Amino acid sequence: HGLRFLGLAAELGYLRRPAAASAAGSAAWDRHASATDNAQWRQEAKSVMHWYTTRTNGSYSRWQESAAVWCYHDADPDFGRFQGVQLHKQLVQQLAAYPVSVVHSPSKCTVEVRIRAVNKGVTTDAILCQANNRQADFVLCCGDDHSDEFMFAAAIARARAPLAPAGPGGVKAAAPVPSRRTFNITVGRKQSRATLYVEDTRQVLFLLQALTQHALAL
């Protein structure tokens, strides 16, 4: 019951359950508008990934509603990486007519196909533009993946932009939300749009615990 007012987003924002739905006790998730466009590209991606899976020992496919991921963590490192490069090239060519992106991440040993219109930046901006979030005085974004860069960029842009009217008769803010109230943190020291970093996920946990203790003390 302590999380009744927690909003959730999954699969880069393809699935969302607003805080209002959680508060009302609803377990339903909202799907992105592209939900009906998945069948054809998924079928083509499936056949290509299957071909590489049968020829790469230790590889396997993982399927989400909005994405298909080919994983080669357990394959021979060199051969797996080689196959990942070849699979990426073939998927880019074969799925060029569909609204999807193909991403090869050698560090994570994955090749992922996902809907182009769905990313953490679009989701972050939509959340910050909700009526009850427009005047949020504290925004914390934290992530360790290249997909989190979209989130960081959206948070920075929204922090610098004037608030939109709340609706008919709404009053537009005279000044942007101060950017100092938005904190972007990347996990691991690397090039990033985030201005802050922590070394690892343990430090993320320590940070969240410290914020919780501070909030409870107020």
- The proportion of the chain whose per-residue pLDDT surpasses 70, expressed as a percent, equals 84
| CA distance to 66, 81, 130, per residue, from 84 (Å) | 20, 5, 40
Summarize pLDDT for 104-157 with one digit per residue, the tens: 999 899 999 999 888 999 999 988 888 677 777 889 999 998 889 999 999 999
Instruction: Give the pLDDT score at 114.
Output: 92
Q: What is the pLDDT of residues 112-126, one digit of tens each?
A: 999 988 899 999 998
Residue with structure tokens 């339903």? 28
Which one has a higher pLDDT value, 208 or 25?
208
Q: What percent of the chain has pLDDT over 90?
A: 59
Q: How confident is the model at residue 162 (pLDDT cuts 50, 70, 90)?
A: low
The span from the CA of 113 to the CA of 187, in Å, is 24
Q: pLDDT tens digits for 29-59?
A: 888 876 556 788 999 999 999 999 999 999 9
**pLDDT for residue 34:** 67
Q: What is the pLDDT of residue 174?
A: 39
Q: Which residue has the higher pLDDT, 184 or 30?
A: 184
With a cut of 50, say whether residue 7 has pLDDT above it: yes
Provide the pLDDT for residue 6.
83
Report d(CA 7, CA 201) in Å as an integer: 22
Specify the higher pLDDT residue, 211 or 38. 211
From CA 141, how far away is CA 137, in angstroms rounded? 13
Kindly state the helix (H) or strand (E) to which residue 180 belongs, with its residue range: none
CB 197 within 8 A of CB 185: yes
